[in-house]
Structure 1
């Protein structure tokens, strides 16, 4: 089973539990939700999430996704997973506290 990862603020994940799906601001502003592979995660944390409090790591099973997933080049030669729709909660197989 292929897994992808997403860093989220704890408050946004709590809201997702209330509404039944996860749809961060990037879905509205960019049209997709940013994900990474396990190998890409350290670079993502270094570039975007230094010293962010109350972060959680969502571990997502690709085969459970309802929205379209595309791997797209975000940096030269490196394709990142992007989800073009809200994240259905049953695709999340693990939630971990994450300290940056």
Structure 2
């Protein structure tokens, strides 16, 4: 079984994606089209990622099963020698999201 990857987002953006059928937000304030990929975290990385969302309320964690994506997950570091984070270079089908957890 492949480890799930996690994406922190605003609940309203997730609800809009559910209606559309795909999720295409890369990170706070940036779309997949602008960034080129969607940022994800492992469970251990999520608290550090959350600092980019300071000041926002009603956040949720999308728990994604990589085997349901239909495209590969690439682990990359933001700078050489840095910690590698999971990235997905395409839209996320809503049925790849196996759970939605509140973030507090």
State whether TM-score is above 0.5.
yes
Name segments (4+ residues, structure 1) moved above 3 Å: none
Say yes or no: does 1:34 pair with 2:34: no
Q: What does residue 99 of structure 2 align with? A: 94
Helix, strand or coil: the match of 2:36? Answer: coil
Q: What does residue 49 of structure 2 align with? A: 44
Report how many residues are paired: 98
Matches of 1:55 and 1:67, distance apart in 2: 26
Aligned alpha-carbon RMSD (Å): 1.3
Q: What does residue 90 of structure 2 align with? A: 85
Q: What does residue 13 of structure 2 align with? A: 12
Q: TM-score normalized by structure 1?
A: 0.89
Structure 2: gaps of 5 or more residues: none
Structure with greater strand percent:
1
Partner of residue 65 from structure 1, selected from 65, 69, 73:
69
Q: Is the 8 A contact 2:66 2:72 kept in 1?
A: no
Is the deviation greater in 71-80 or in 7-16? 71-80
Structure 1: gaps of 5 or more residues: none
Q: Is the 8 A contact 1:67 1:87 kept in 2?
A: no
Partner of residue 54 from structure 1, selected from 58, 62, 70:
58
Q: TM-score normalized by structure 2?
A: 0.86
Q: Is the 8 A contact 1:67 1:86 kept in 2?
A: no
